[in-house]
Amino acid sequence: MVNCFVFISISMNFDPFTQEPIHRKGIWNSGCLSQEHATLDYFETTLTNLGWQRDDQQRRNWHREDKKVVLCLVDDIRDCASDYHIDVPYMFDRNTTVITDNYVGCPTQYQVWQLPPSFYGIYSHNEPMPEWQPDRQFCFSVNRIDTRRLKLMLELAKRIHLHKGYVNFNCQDQFDGNTFGGTDRLPAVFEKYWNNELSDDDKAAWQASYKLLAPQMPLKNYDHSHHEIYTRSWLNVECETYSSDNTVALSEKIFRLLTLPVPWTAYMGRYAVAYLESLGFDCMSDMIDHNHYDRLKVVENRIGIFVWKSITDTSKVLMNGSQDQIRARCLKAATYNRELLKLYKNNWDAEFEQWKQAYLPHLA
């Protein structure tokens, strides 16, 4: 539904501990960022040529007379609305058309033009298949802070001994350019989010976690490279930030997990895993019970059930199972998902052309 595209320079995506760039190996070799930007450039040029005018500097909101267009690629559609907290069906008026790759799982009063699923072919890559050699219970790594990631980190600290996993939480804040100069300011970012982004009930529930984590920020409890840890854990844990009960923007993070021969679970929007499976991806649901959390709304203690059931219980079951059988199953899924992304990439040009013929005349 929405077109919200926030252009964020890759230069911010550095590990503050090593100053090494994050966007270097694995899924990033797909060229996804350049292809994502090229698609956005196409829409910007097309809208300009059709007489539409841009309303902001981030290339996402456009108007012509009383009509509006919102462009949202791999980003949070809520950021494109005038009120971030308004319910998804009513974020935009009836004169608005949203062009997006996002999954929108509810009816809306505005038009949603979803790109063909083959858009996700931008994540197709030819990196060698790594070997899975787990030596810790789980992996959870994020390169910047936001409210959703903060809550998941606090719940993890509440439920799990963090030393059992590979954990990285480096607290960079993409909206505050003063926080990227080094690690000395990053603990202040963690404190800022705790003070300003959480409710009193949240703070009461996670007070002990905050006291544990705050002195350790930015937290990183391993010496391996950012890419190695994803094949050294029994369970990879991912958080799709741009998601809600009714939406999800699928990013490189989930496709990295889909193309690695490693068990995984993901804290995403409601029914996001079901959506991935509807697109043909093998989510290993015969081995990992995604349904118990995938169907829940946030108010149904989704985050607590996710951590308790999907991370602690699932990882213990995996660690007590046959590693050879798990390895074979994961390799089968990763191989299949890589082939599906390759197919999507090959089909994109033709399917996008059909999409343009069906939708763009309505913008003329």
| DSSP code string of 7-73 | ---GGG-B-TTT--BSTTSGGGGG-HHHHHHHHHHHHHHHHHHTT-EE-STTS-EEEETTEEEEEES
Prediction pTM value = 0.90
- What's the confidence (pLDDT) of residue 89? 96
- What's the confidence (pLDDT) of residue 31? 83
Pairing of strands 61-64, 53-54: antiparallel
Least Cα distance to 281 among 60, 103, 22, 153 occurs for 103
- Please say whether the beta carbons of 167 and 226 come within 8 A: no
- What's the confidence (pLDDT) of residue 180? 42
Backbone angles phi, psi at 13, to 5 degrees: -90, 70
What is the greatest pairwise CA distance in the chain?
A: 63
Give the integer Cα–Cα distance in Å for 78 and 112.
14
> What is the DSSP-derived secondary structure letter of residue 286?
T
Distances (CA, A) of 47 to 61, 63, 71, 126, 215: 11, 9, 10, 34, 49
List of the chain residues with pLDDT < 50 = 1-12, 177-182
- What's the confidence (pLDDT) of residue 299? 94
In the numeric block, which tokens belong to residue 137? 């219970």
First to last CA, the chain: 20
Name residues whose C-beta falls within 8 Å of residue 200's C-beta, 6 or more positions apart in sequence. Answer: none
- Please say whether the beta carbons of 132 and 325 come within 8 A: no
Backbone angles phi, psi at 241, to 5 degrees: -65, -45
Distances (CA, A) of 83 to 4, 33, 77, 79, 88: 13, 28, 11, 8, 10
Phi-psi map region of 5: left, alpha, beta (phi>0 left; psi -120 to 50 alpha)? beta
Query: What SS3 class is residue 220?
Result: strand
- What's the confidence (pLDDT) of residue 10? 31
- Please say whether the beta carbons of 25 and 191 come within 8 A: no
Q: Is 215 exposed, middle or buried (0-12, 13-18, 19+ CB in 10 A)?
A: exposed
Give the integer Cα–Cα distance in Å for 26 and 125.
8
CA 82 and chain centroid, separation = 22
Output the CA torsion sign for 81, 75, 192, 311: positive
Query: What SS3 class is residue 238?
Result: strand
- What's the confidence (pLDDT) of residue 167? 97
Give the integer Cα–Cα distance in Å for 54 and 232.
46
